[in-house]
């Protein structure tokens, strides 16, 4: 365990790695940052690890009186069969207008080759010579595999034709689909698991899917700037437009710069997406238009 302090923020690391590694062995690294309350902590990108490969990572944030603790857990490995080093990793801590850069200490790793040290390359040994009638078992095995592959191909094509012939049920209306997706996202509790980036990506996908189905434009292929331009030019009510614009701007650094906002901002993101869906929900037709759409019922009433 190594602790480093810079300004009002503190950094500590916990590396769990055996004395010697072989190529592909996995080991864990946990970096904990204690910073003032509501400080923004940004971890380094994967390129900062140099020759060390990041298999997966996640973060967890805990709040206490006057301070926040953010833990970044990494699962690492290396594919280079020689000694290497985990470089010093920079973590940015932004408190109000002050920025601190905390760096871990570089850690050398001992990586062993999977081949014994006395292994030599024997080049002058030839394969054994066999006499007599050759065995044809491999030919029969090849024929059986070919027949099995043909059978699987025919079965898959038949299932595809049958599925294509059966009409798919129509999707639910855009409003109902979006509200159900938000309900499922809330039940998944991604924020409690520290999966902030995954949570914001899911919210963004729900909003783009709703925009595409509700307003009939290819929102899922649009960039953030293109969607903001569409919102600005639209005739949507100002509260709805403001909710969508705020979410699109605040979610961008979380999705692509690994920025970690505070809990209040994350909760507001979910509220703004839900508010936009509610504000733009299609209204039911007026009673007189509903009566015109059912002339048979009007005749029977008369």
pLDDT digits (tens, 9 = 90+) for 195-224: 999 999 999 999 999 999 999 888 889 999
Domain count within the chain:
2
182 within a domain of the structure (yes/no): yes
154 backbone dihedrals φ, ψ, rounded to 5°:
-65, -40
pLDDT digits (tens, 9 = 90+) for 58-99: 999 888 877 889 999 999 988 877 888 899 999 889 888 788
Tokens of 234: 């639209």
Give every CB contact of residue 30 below 8 A, 6+ residues apart in sequence. 13, 14, 15, 71, 72, 73, 74
pTM of structure: 0.43
For 221, which DSSP code? G
Tell whether the torsion through CA atoms of 178, 184, 187 and 193 is positive or negative: negative
141 within a domain of the structure (yes/no): no
Residue 290 has pLDDT above 70, yes or no: no
127 within a domain of the structure (yes/no): no
Domain-ending residue, one of 87, 112, 137 = 112
Which range is least confidently modeled, 25-39, 83-97, 278-292?
278-292
Which pLDDT score is estimated for 35? 87
154 within a domain of the structure (yes/no): no
Domain-ending residue, one of 82, 112, 142 = 112
Alpha helical stretches, state H, the chain: 137-165, 174-188, 196-215, 224-233, 238-256, 263-279, 287-292, 295-301
Task: State how far the Cα of 174 lies from the Cα of 278, in Å rounded to an integer.
Answer: 11
17 backbone dihedrals φ, ψ, rounded to 5°:
-145, 140
Give every CB contact of residue 258 below 8 A, 6+ residues apart in sequence. 42, 43, 45, 197
Domain that holds residue 261: 174-279
Which pLDDT score is estimated for 159? 86
Task: State how far the Cα of 38 lies from the Cα of 227, in Å rounded to an integer.
Answer: 30
């Amino acid at each position: 365990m190594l602790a480093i302090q810079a300004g009002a923020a503190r950094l500590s690391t916990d590396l769990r790695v055996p004395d010697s590694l072989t190529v592909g062995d996995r080991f864990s690294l946990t970096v904990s940052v204690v910073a003032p309350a509501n400080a923004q902590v940004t971890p380094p990108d994967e390129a900062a690890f140099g020759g060390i490969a990041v298999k997966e990572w996640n973060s967890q944030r805990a709040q206490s009186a006057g301070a926040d603790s953010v833990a970044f857990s990494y699962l690492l490995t290396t594919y280079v069969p020689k000694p290497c080093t985990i470089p010093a990793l920079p973590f940015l801590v932004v408190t109000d207008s002050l920025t601190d850069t905390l760096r871990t200490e570089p850690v050398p790793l001992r990586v062993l080759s999977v081949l014994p040290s006395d292994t030599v390359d024997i080049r002058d040994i030839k394969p054994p010579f066999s006499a007599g009638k050759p065995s044809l078992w491999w030919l029969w095995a090849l024929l059986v595999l070919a027949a099995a592959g043909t059978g699987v191909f025919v079965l898959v094509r038949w299932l595809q034709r049958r599925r294509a012939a059966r009409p798919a049920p129509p999707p639910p209306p855009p409003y109902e689909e979006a509200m159900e997706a938000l309900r499922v996202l809330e039940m998944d509790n991604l924020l409690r698991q520290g999966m902030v980036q995954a949570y914001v990506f899911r919210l963004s996908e729900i909003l783009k899917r709703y925009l595409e189905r509700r307003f009939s434009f290819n929102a899922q292929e649009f960039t953030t700037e293109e969607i903001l331009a569409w919102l600005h030019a639209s005739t949507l009510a100002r509260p709805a437009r403001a909710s969508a614009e705020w979410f699109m701007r605040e979610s961008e650094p979380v999705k692509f710069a690994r920025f970690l906002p505070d809990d209040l901002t994350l909760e507001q993101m979910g509220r703004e997406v839900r508010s936009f869906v509610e504000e733009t929900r299609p209204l039911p037709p007026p009673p007189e238009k509903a009566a015109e759409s059912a002339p048979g019922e009007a005749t029977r009433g008369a």
